[in-house]
Amino acid sequence: MMQHIFQKGKNSSKPTLLLLHGTGGNELDLLPLAKRIDDEASVLSVRGNVLENGMPRFFRRLAEGIFDEEDLIFRTKELNNFLDEASEKYEFDRNNILAVGYSNGANIAGSLLFHFENALKGAILHHPMVPISGIELPDLAGTSVFITAGTNDPICSPLESAELESLLERANAKVETHWESNGHQLTASEVEAAVQWYRETFLKV
């Protein structure tokens, strides 16, 4: 099992929010975000199993922006298996998980989409990169993805965000990208945009 927190929501028909922190974060980081998105949904917040200079991450990297692809694939499978186990243990719908990831957490969420057809019902990816190149994506019809990106992001270039959007769209996912003229930080306005997208997409408000 991966280190995690599970909070049972008031409404089991809503997606379970899978929270995936950024480098150096932990399973407490995004809990306030989950509350903003949907305070009635169940929450599964996971801590990355890899340490980089004492900082938790979801997979190893060789350098800034260069992923250890072998470890990425291994950790993606590990997370997918964990979701299978957690859904049985906590009795939530395995086919109704919405990932909410920031930076490194957004990258592992993206990797779930790249490797497994039914891993996620949807994803909110804050400042993601293309997790892995040169692989054929599964059919993501019925999967909704919201990407937030910064035009001045030093870690994740706008080109990379646009490439991720087109790769997901080609795999039949429904993708929306929200741009801000900021860097790599998670801003209040992009969180609000994600909340709005969630309501329109999952609550049909």
Cα 86 from Cα 48, distance rounded (Å) = 15
Dihedral in degrees, nearest 10, Cα atoms 152, 155, 161, 163: 120
- 153 given a catalytic annotation: yes
Cα(67)–Cα(64) distance, rounded to whole angstroms? 8
Catalytic residue (choose from 42, 103, 111, 144): 103
Q: Return the half-sphere exposure (C-beta side, CA atoms, 13 A cut-off) of residue 143.
A: 31
Which parts of the chain fold into alpha helices (H)?
31-37, 69-90, 104-115, 158-170, 188-198
Q: CA-CA distance, 120 to 142, in Å (whole number)?
A: 10
User: What is the phi/psi pair of residue 181, to 5°?
Assistant: -90, 40
DSSP tag of 127: S
Instruction: Tell me which of 12, 68, 87, 184 is the catalytic residue.
Output: 184
Q: Is residue 184 annotated as a catalytic residue, yes or no?
A: yes
**CB-based contact 31:45 (threshold 8 Å):** yes
Q: Active-site positions?
A: 103, 153, 184
